[in-house]
Structure 1
Amino acid sequence: MTDAGFTEIARAIRAVSGLALSADKGYLLKARLAPMMKQRGLSSLTDLANRLPTADGPALLREMAEATTTNETSFFRDVLPIRQIADSVLPELDAARPAGAPIRIWSAACSSGQEAYSVAMAAEEAGFRRRLDIFGTDLSAAMVDRARAGLYTSFEMERGLSAVQRTRWFRQEPDGWRIAESLRRACRFEVLNLLGDLRSLGTFDVVLLRNVLIYFDPPTKERVVAACAAHLAPDGVICLGATETLLGLQAPLVAVPGLRGVWRRA
């Protein structure tokens, strides 16, 4: 692997997905791309970089972006943010909305759907009655397919869920655990690049932009936050991950007092 090969591949991935790869990530990059490289008989990142200007380039770029996306997730990840939404954010929005209007929630970078389904579960458990329209998006088509299926392994079921929740919200099947149909009806999932065209999304009351910004450099963070904020209702909120902040960035949002990781329009 040459520095030129790494640099070219890293630049191409950043342009597609926003992922910022530092020079010390060469081994990680090659490990993530190894399956697709083996399938095509490519022995180095330089060989892969040389394929990008060819007719195969667009398909390779999509595969590269998916292969380097981190899909780490779990049910009720970090717990508190999900509970905050159910116990504080949703009741406030409910009081401000006309009867019959659904509350729209966007789970950006939803991975295999656990975040979206966790919000639906938490709202039901908190006795929230207004209809939720939960929209999950992810760059990875494979993850979106998994989210739509709502089928999870025993390992995934052990992360974040209580025994009561497993019994209430899932049924066991030969291949895993299937999410309850009532929760699947509340959630829909589509493939979407946060750096792409978002104009068709409409307006959301809650945007879950959790554990996404940590993979971007500051300019890309600002670009993604601004794009998401443009689809936020005037009194809506954006929720970040436990280790994420907008401090030091040019962003059209301010922190909501008393809630951790929750921001609204300035």
Structure 2
Amino acid sequence: MTETDFAFLRLLLQQRSGLSLTADKRYLVESRLGILCRRHGLADIGTLVHRLRAAPDPDLEGAVVDAMTTNETLFFRDQTPFTLFQDVVLPERLAANAASRSLRIWCAAVSSGQEAYSLAMLVDEMAERLAGWKIDILGTDISAEILEKARAGLYSQHEIQRGLPIRMLLKHFRQEGDRWQLSQRIRAMVTFRQHNLLERNDQFGRFDVIFCRNVLIYFDLQTKMKVLERLSPRLVPDGAFILGATETVLGLTSMLTADPRHRGLYRHVSMAAAAEAGRGENAPPLRA
């Protein structure tokens, strides 16, 4: 792969997906796109680039994006966000939405579905409490191929062993050969749709909770800002926005701010200010 070809592919990926590839990722491009070339009957990456330059080919461009997208995920990944959801966010939203009896959750960059299904299993734990409620969980990803896997809800032994508690395995899965099938009940709780985080999203409506974990780390500064600018308006005013452990909104958006009580949890700035003011009003008077 020539430097010119690499520069072209870096620009294509940046424009199509926001993925920012540094110069030291050249080996990754050669490895993943080499497999793609063989799958499409192309001699090498140079031939691939020549075809992409010759005429617009959305399908081939999409295949390049799919090949270069990192789909690392697992059930109950990092655990802390799920404990936060179960112990703090979910009770908070149930109280706030008692009148409407509805709850909407968005898992952005959902990959093969484990995050969304983990949340669905936690919601299912409260089935009696949520009787009569309308629960919508949306999982989106840029890759159509990985979303097909997510919809199937069929996982390998390796995928099952990564983070899934044995109690959840026995309750929600059945073994089919060397793979495990998630129950229809849990799968029916999640809707998967293809979506690019750089594109408009107002068609999805607004959500009580947005998970956008471990995806901003792959973007450059400007792309991170654009993604947060797109996502923030989709959160209800008093909703919960959850990022990955190594991610932050600091210096990226003026619409969200960290919840001082819970690491990884973010709120709309206006709501955080109101909560802080409320705590100040209830604070004991200072003594000289």
- Distance in 1, matches of 2:198 and 2:252, equals 18
Residue type of the alignment partner of 2:6: F
| Alpha-carbon distance in 2 for matches of 1:256, 1:126 | 25
Q: Residue 158 of structure 1 aligns with which residue?
A: 161
Give matches, 1:105-144, under 5 Å.
Answer: 105-125=105-125, 129=130, 130-144=133-147
Structure 2 distance, partners of 1:161, 1:121, is 11
CA distance in 2, matches of 1:59, 1:124: 38
Deviation digits for residues 130-173 of structure 1 (CA, Å, limit 9, x no counterpart): 44210001111111111111111111110111221110111112
- 2:170 is paired with a residue whose SS is helix
* 1:87-113 CA distance string (max 9 Å, x none): 100111111114353210000010111
Find the residue that maps to 1:230 and give its secondary structure: helix
Distance between the aligned counterparts of 1:86 and 1:105, measured in 2? 13
- Alpha-carbon distance in structure 2 between the residues aligned to 1:179 and 1:102: 24
**Secondary structure of the structure 2 residue equivalent to 1:110:** coil
Equivalent residue number for residue 43 of structure 1: 44
CA distance in 2, matches of 1:145, 1:178: 14
Q: Look up the match of 2:214.
A: 211
Q: Percent identity, aligned pairs only? A: 44
Paired residue secondary structure (2:53): coil
Q: What CA deviation, in whole Å up to 9, does each residue of 1:37-67 have, x standing for no partner?
A: 22332323x4322222333532221111111
User: When the two structures are superposed, what TM-score results if normalisation uses the length of structure 1?
Assistant: 0.94
Gaps of 5+ in 2: 270-288
Q: C-alpha separation between the residues in 1 aligned to 2:31 and 2:231?
A: 32
Highest Rg: 1 or 2?
A: 2
Instruction: Please name the residue that 1:88 is paired with.
Output: 88
CA RMSD of aligned residues (A): 1.6
Which has the larger displacement, 151-160 or 128-137?
128-137
Deviations 1:173-218, CA, capped at 9 Å, x for gaps: 2352111222112111111111123121111111110001000001
Q: How many residues align?
A: 265
CA contact (8 A) 1:225 1:251 kept: no
AA matched with 1:161: L
* 2:148 is aligned with 1:145: yes
- Distance (whole Å) between structure 1 residues aligned to residue 102 and residue 146 of structure 2: 26
Aligned residue in 1 for 2:250: 247
Q: Unaligned stretches of 5+ in structure 1? A: none
Residue 15 of structure 1 corresponds to 15
